[in-house]
Structures are given as structure tokens and as C-alpha cells.
Amino acid sequence: YVEGTDDYDHPGATINNMRLLDAIVKKCGFRPDHIKSPQTKASEVIHELEEERDLDVKPRPPPKPSELVPRCPIVTVMGHVDHGKTTLLDALRNTSVVEQEFGGITQHIGAFSVKLSNSTQTVTFLDTPGHAAFSAMRSRGAHVTDIVVLVVAAEDGVMEQTKESIRYANEAKVPIIVAINKCDKPEANIPNTKKGLWTQGIALEEFGGEVQSVCISALKKTGLDTLVETILTQAELMQLKADPKGLVEGVVVEARTDPARGRLCTAIIQRGTLRKGSFLVAGRAWARVRGMFNEQGQVIDEAPPGVPAEIIGWRELPSAGDLILECETETKALQAVRYREQQDMKKKMEIDEIAIQQKMEEHL
């Protein structure tokens, strides 16, 4: 748009006109990938933005503070191999099953909730295989984890993947709670483990820092209540909140095809409350929600923010880390998926074209 005219195709109306660029950024949520070259015409960008607005689905603008209600924390367990992550998650999961009135067979669905026996507060644990899923989600810009529980075996202390986990948590700006594990073993050296953590920049509370540590035995199931309590205290400090109303937004934690129920995914809802019959889009997959289950395989009627839910009704399989967005109608969902497919194809063709061009230039 050139000031004083309505002529998007005016010779001056290319993206290297800085004032124009500024105006577009402010007005229509323009992104850098809209510029193909300095000669990109403003009209092209505007056309693309209009198309995107009409055909794709996007997250809603952030909620007002008055629309927010408290939600439970979402926790990822990390640490060196064999330090006890799986044992800890199993122990926590089983504690929560025993408490259920209809304690059934627990399924591995990628996430589960734990409740303290004397409270209504819950903690959601992500139970995805290790760092791979965490980085997949991070690379897609999905921020699901509020707190990292760093498992360190007291017999070994800090190891290579302990350091890596600390790096991950710091990069994602997620606070750490240390679970010093295998405290039942005679070889356990807790002071040494703490010293090692301190050397890695973990400011433990007893040394004047802010990081809490809890001594546990995942195997003997000791210290687990204290660990969950510590997580809840940390969560309280963070004042985690979410908007439970309106169109749903969430993240895919895990997806698979079940022989009996078809394509399904475990999701963490981040906004709105998911109900049966909703239309969802995640990446290039879409669903009409046929039903939802908790980790005990029980049918749930709704999934509010923070609570993990297994969702059935996907027409294609979404991927871990995909953003889930609700659409008002099936038509809208289908349209969005088709638009995304087209965009991906276009991008792929552009990349191919550049590669061909480069090859030709090399040849010359």
C-alpha cells in the first residue's frame, strides 16, 4: 500500500519499501516467509494474507486476564539413561491408578494425571519416550512443559545426559525440580550428587539457591508424595492459568493407530474445553471427535486445559508436537487441511526450483 493511493501494484509498492513493510507487519500479521524476494509485490503479500485468513485456522488472540482460571502443572521427567525415569513414571502412574475407584488396566497414552491423596490438586506427567519427543515438540514451537523433574541417581551423580537435560530445560526456560533417585542403595552418595548439580549451575536451595531437591526411591516408592507436593508448590509460585472457554487449542503429545479404535492421539488441551463432536485440525490432519478417554481407558465427557485426553476420530494421523485447533464446522476444518497441503506443496516446489537453479548456475 503506497501512501495516498490504493494501488498495491504501484512501482514503489515492493517489500523493500521499509515503510510499507512496517505497515504490513502492524496491520495484518505478516511473517518473514511472505517475502520471496525484495521485489515481492505488496499486492501478492496481501493476497496471500487474505487467503490465509479465509482458508486456514489460527490460534485466537491471547485471552484477557479476567478469563483465566488456575490449571494443573504439566511435568516432563528427564535425566541420564538408567537413572530411573521409567521406574519413577510407573510408580507415579500406579499410585494414581490405585486411588481410582474402578482401577482398571493402565494404558500407555503418553501422559497421565496424579492426584495427592489428601488434595484435589493434580499434576499431569508427560510420559513420552525421552528427549526425542521433547525436542520434537520444541522444534515445532509447542510449549507444553511447565516444570522439568530431573532424575539423578545418587550412586552415579551428574552424567552426560544429566547435563544435556539441564541444557534443554534452561533453553526452554522451564524450572527444574531435582529428584535424587536410588536413595535406597547403600552406594547412594547424596552430598556428592548435590555438589555435582551445583557445579552444573543448579542453584539448590540448601546452598542458597531456589531449586528444590527431593530424595526418592522410585523402586521402593519412597519420597513420591514429597516430590508431587514440591511440584505443586512450584506450580503455585508460577500461577499457572488457562482460559477454559471458546474454541479449543492444544498440542499433540503422541499419535498412533489402534487396531480397534482407529487413529487416535493423546493431547494436552491448552485453551477451551474439548467435547465430543468438535472438529479439530492438527498439522495436515483433521478429526471429528468421536470420543475421549483418560489414561485408565475410561470415557470422559470433556477435557479442560492441562488434562491429558486420548482423542479418537482422526481421519489422518497427526504428529507429536502438532498444534491442535478447533474449527466451527467440518467444512472449515477440511478447507484448512486442504489449504495447508497446498501451501506445503508450494513450498516444496519453491525449494526444488531453487535447487535446480543452483545446479544450473554451478554448471555455468
State the binding partner of 194 from Mg ion, ligand GDP, none, CB within 5 to 8 A by kind.
none
Q: What are the angstrom distances between the C-alpha of 154 and each of 163, 220, 342?
A: 15, 14, 53
- Shortest distance in whole angstroms from residue 253 CB to ligand GDP: 18
Place of cell 525449494: 351
Helix (H) or strand (E) run with residue 44 in it: helix 42-55
State the binding partner of 219 from ligand GDP, Mg ion, none, CB within 5 to 8 A by kind.
ligand GDP
- Part in contact with Mg ion (CB under 5 A); list of ranges 83-91, 179-187, 203-211, 273-281: 83-91
Among 40, 43, 86, 107, binds Mg ion (CB under 5 A): 86
- Residue 196 or 318: the one with the smaller Cβ distance to ligand GDP is 196
Bridge-based pairing state of the strands 274-275 and 323-327? unpaired
Q: Is 165 an interacting residue with respect to ligand GDP (CB under 6 A)?
A: no
- Residue 182 or 271: the one with the smaller Cβ distance to ligand GDP is 182
- Residue 87 or 121: the one with the smaller Cβ distance to Mg ion is 87
* Positions in 169-208 near ligand GDP (CB under 6 A): 181-182, 184-185
User: Is residue 285 packed enough to be buried (19+ CB in 10 Å), middle (13-18) or exposed (0-12)?
Assistant: buried
CB of 299 closer than 8 Å to CB of 282: no
- Residue 34 or 182: the one with the smaller Cβ distance to ligand GDP is 182
Quote the CA–CA distance of 346 and 338 in Å, as a whole number: 12
Q: What is the per-residue burial (b if ≥16 Cβ within 10 Å, else e) of 78-105?
A: bbbeebbbebbbbbbbebbbeeeeeeee
Among 40, 86, 192, 343, binds ligand GDP (CB under 6 A): 86
- Shortest distance in whole angstroms from residue 180 CB to ligand GDP: 10
Determine how many CB atoms are found less than 10 A away from the CB of residue 133: 19
- Shortest distance in whole angstroms from residue 181 CB to Mg ion: 12
- Shortest distance in whole angstroms from residue 190 CB to ligand GDP: 13
Quote the CA–CA distance of 252 and 324 in Å, as a whole number: 7
Q: Which residues bind ligand GDP (CB under 6 A)?
A: 79, 81-87, 181-182, 184-185, 217-219
Q: Which residues bind Mg ion (CB under 5 A)?
A: 85-86
